[in-house]
Structure 1
Amino acid sequence: MLKNILMAEIMPIVEEFDQQLNYDTEYESRLQAAANNFIAAASSLPRASGCLPPCGFQVQGAVYNCVTCQYDSCEFPLDCPGKEITVQENNRTQMWCSVPFLLPADVEIVWRYAQDRTMLRERFDDVTVGADPLYSIPSARPEQSGTYQCEVLSQEQSLVRLYFYLTVIPVAQTGHVHLQDVFAQALLPEGQFPRLSSTDSFSYWLPRPAFLTTCLTAIMLLIFLSLGVLYWLSYQIRTSVFDPAQETILTEEKKYLIHC
């Protein structure tokens, strides 16, 4: 596109002055006018940029400035907007130090941690240093809540800093919140719970399969034990009725009572 603009400004002058003699001032004025028109047309062209917002020093996205004859950086801040992460206690959580633009091959990744919500460098403590972009917490605890920072370095120069705001909800607090929700629903008019919509799953209201299996097994075991006890009692009764020795003892007791 720049070549087409240049040829459109120069070729008419070449054809007009071909095989002609002109004063130097005329050449100078016509070429200066062509140069001004070229700069104005070139400045209005859309520039191809590899810059991907909103953050990071992107070497591959630098754009050549035709006016200053230098490469302009993307001029984005190194600090990226923070990402919110919420996880329940004892659950696994992962944070990826990844960016949408191309990074050099010799990057070094530093993970840092701060107990509060902050972006101040002095509030962070180094956790790990290496080339692994993944930071994983197998079983999150409430005291692990805070801000996690991932900084990407290349030849000791910072390229980008990512922030993750982690909130770990305790198990007891989760149950408390659920009870508050049930209580709030019970305070609806006439104490009625809202009906399930057609999109809701009825499995929400049913116990878990493992819980149902345990209950059924316990009920069947109780029934078998009850039947065993009843059979044992009936056997004891039949034995005591037809025992000859017991019959003799009862006859002697009757004779003694009649004698008295």
Structure 2
Amino acid sequence: MSTSALCLVCVSLLFGTSLSCLQCFIDISVRNRLCWGHVLTEHNVRYVDGCFKKLDRLFDRNERVIEAGRVGRGYNKQLKEIMEAEILPMAKEFNQKRNKDTLYEERLQTAADNFIAAASKLPRVSGCFPPCGFQSAGAVYNCIICRYDSCEFPLDCPFEEINVTENSRSQIWCEVPFPLPGDIEVIWSVAERVKTQLVDHFKEVTAGVDRLYSIPSTSLQHQGTYKCEIYSGQRSIVRLYYYLTVTPQVVEGHAELQDIFDLSLLSKGPILPEPVGSPPSLLPSPLLLTTCLTSLLLLLFLSLGALYWLTMPE
């Protein structure tokens, strides 16, 4: 086998699976009719391969064309219509007719630009949100493979840690960053006192549409793994795991006493915390008591003096 033939085989194997928006929507027979009359102006001879090279450059390897084709689910039909509107009339016009390569260049460039402009106006999607969940709504059309990219994430999400105090209220929200279908069912399960994702450790506790799991008064028995699994049409689309850690109140009280003891050591004397919720003192201040007592004594002396002057004989 010659060197050139070997290179051709290698290139074919390397790019054989790479397609384009043009190849996705325009049949090879149409492309053959389009390129039949491609003529090299310099030599005035038909050169069909030159036309295919133009298609490859202007469509197959044009990043702007590929990016314009990245539309949301269901809009690949509109992509096909846009591409056909640009290529089919030209293929019909050029079929079995000789045209200069300069005309091909001009017309194909215009067709590519028109496709980019029209396809770019089709709705886009936000794409995939890592790290987990089956996200059908986030898939975008990929002209390189002629199908939609799938968000190939695992259904199981990483653990989320939640810390609460004993006897307090706990709320766990089952939230995901990607849009959910309208027909979801939410199943909450719990694996008591263990941190696990193993299915056989969980016991189902609720099922419905509520994505909030609430514990009015959390006890030590509530510590463990909580799993929120969301279904759509009997199919699981995501599983979220929350590990709930419950801190006993005794431990918190001990921590407060330790803080008071540390402050006492620093100040070289006892420091007692002010009683919480104690009523304010009703006794007046010492200054106010002294003022009132002085005023009463002065009033008494004045009264006695007045009485003395009134009782003196004339």
TM-score by length of 1: 0.63
Who is 1:142 aligned against?
Answer: 220
Gaps of 5+ in 1: 4-12, 194-204, 221-260
Shift of 1:216: 4.4
Who is 2:54 aligned against?
Answer: 34
* Aligned residue type for 2:256: H
Mapped partners of 1:82, 1:39: distance in 2: 43
* Aligned residue type for 1:32: F
Structure 2 residue 155 is the aligned partner of structure 1 residue 78: yes
1:222-253 deviations in Å (ceiling 9; x for gaps): xxxxxxxxxxxxxxxxxxxxxxxxxxxxxxxx
Who is 1:172 aligned against?
Answer: 250
Mapped partners of 1:33, 1:101: distance in 2: 41
Mapped partners of 2:195, 2:259: distance in 1: 28
Q: Tell me, what secondary structure is at the counterpart of 1:181?
A: helix
Question: CA RMSD, aligned part only?
Answer: 3.4
Who is 2:197 aligned against?
Answer: 119
1:60-89 deviations in Å (ceiling 9; x for gaps): 101112122111111122122222111111
Mapped partners of 2:154, 2:253: distance in 1: 41
* Aligned residue type for 2:221: E
* Aligned residue type for 1:42: E
Shift of 1:18: 11
Gaps of 5+ in 2: 1-20, 23-34, 71-123, 285-314
Q: Tell me, what secondary structure is at the counterpart of 2:137?
A: coil
1:76-122 deviations in Å (ceiling 9; x for gaps): 22122222111111111111112121111111101010120112222
* Aligned residue type for 1:113: V
Superposition misfits of 4+ residues, deviation over 6 angstroms: 18-21
Shift of 1:206: 5.0
Taking a change above 3 Å as real, the CA distance of residues 192 and 78 of structure 1, as seen in their structure-2 partners, is farther
Shift of 1:30: 1.6
Mapped partners of 1:159, 1:187: distance in 2: 57
Who is 1:69 aligned against?
Answer: 146
* Aligned residue type for 2:233: Q
How many residue pairs get matched? 191
Q: Tell me, what secondary structure is at the counterpart of 2:255?
A: helix
Who is 1:212 aligned against?
Answer: 278
Taking a change above 3 Å as real, the CA distance of residues 40 and 191 of structure 1, as seen in their structure-2 partners, is farther
Structure 2 residue 165 is the aligned partner of structure 1 residue 88: yes
Mapped partners of 2:132, 2:44: distance in 1: 58
Q: Tell me, what secondary structure is at the counterpart of 1:95?
A: strand
Greater shift in the superposed pair: 94-103 or 142-151: 94-103
1:135-181 deviations in Å (ceiling 9; x for gaps): 10000001110110000011121111111111111111211122233
1:16-48 deviations in Å (ceiling 9; x for gaps): 85999743xx12x12321233222223874856
Mapped partners of 1:58, 1:101: distance in 2: 7
Question: Could you tell me the percent identity over the aligned residues?
Answer: 45
Who is 2:179 aligned against?
Answer: 102
Who is 2:132 aligned against?
Answer: 55
